[in-house]
Structure 1
């Protein structure tokens, strides 16, 4: 099962989420990230944060918007836009959830607070992913409906 973290191009949240997931996940699970629009270079601040945490970022480019989820994939939208805003990867996806988290680098383009908020976002995503991983273990007795329910619950979890 792959987890696809979706966000806008240049968004630090999918980069952080995919890197954290791949750092912590067992070998049978993998995370990818997809840009809803064009891909932009990753944030140097996000790359530096991952390096300080001892996490390799993986590919520095996101998959293109045309990269369709495969059957069995879980799509996690990290956009903080209004819930009615359609995610281009929602249609036809068997399991899609939204983990809305503010993008600190877009909110504070020139403010020093962005680094502190970036670390907050890192901790939120890491806590959610740490709670997600036991649900994905082989032999886990969760059916799709229960997994979806748990994923929605995790999308509201704050450490």
Structure 2
């Protein structure tokens, strides 16, 4: 299973999700992230939040979905369409789920408020990815229909 975490800019949420999944992935599972309009850089606060959590940031980069090294089998979008953010649509024969969440890069306020937004993003994604990894470990030969249901259930956690 190769998961693609997808956002528009690929600088915060999708990067954090990629790093988390890579750090927890069961055998045979991999992750990558991309954006439909990549920012071209990883947000420094996303890198700081990952480093603070002890998650490797090695090899993380903002990249386009046009240059993916592997075709995904699962695509998880992370944009917050409720906030008016355009959510990219990935075409292809893949299992899709939407784990919408606010972009911490858009948070305004003092240092503590901004740090808290990145910490919350990391915490939510850690809960969701942990739930996914537990399901994958319990059922390594999971079929697409079952996986779809699991992903959609996780989206509301």
Please, what TM-score do these two structures have when normalized by structure 2?
Answer: 0.86
Measured at CA, do residues 48 and 95 of structure 1 come closer, stay the same or move farther in structure 2, by a change above 3 Å?
A: same
Q: How many residues align?
A: 154
Provide structure 1 residue ranges, at least 5 long, that are not aligned to the other structure: none
Match of 2:40 in 1: 40
Secondary structure of the corresponding residue to residue 66 of structure 1: helix
Deviations 1:110-154 (A, max 9, x none): 543121011011110000000001222385453211210110110
Q: Which structure has the highest helix share of the two?
A: 2
Q: 1:42, 1:97 → 2: CA distance?
A: 23
Q: How does 1:73-92 map onto structure 2 within 5 Å?
A: 73-82=73-82, 87-89=88-90, 91-92=91-92
Match of 2:71 in 1: 70
Secondary structure of the corresponding residue to residue 96 of structure 1: strand
Q: 1:67, 1:88 → 2: CA distance?
A: 16
Partners of 2:10 and 2:33 within 8 A in 1: no
Q: 2:6, 2:150 → 1: CA distance?
A: 19
Please, what TM-score do these two structures have when normalized by structure 1?
Answer: 0.85
Q: Greater shift after overlay, 134-143 or 31-40? A: 134-143
Secondary structure of the corresponding residue to residue 81 of structure 2: coil
Provide structure 2 residue ranges, at least 5 long, that are not aligned to the other structure: none
Partners of 1:10 and 1:43 within 8 A in 2: no
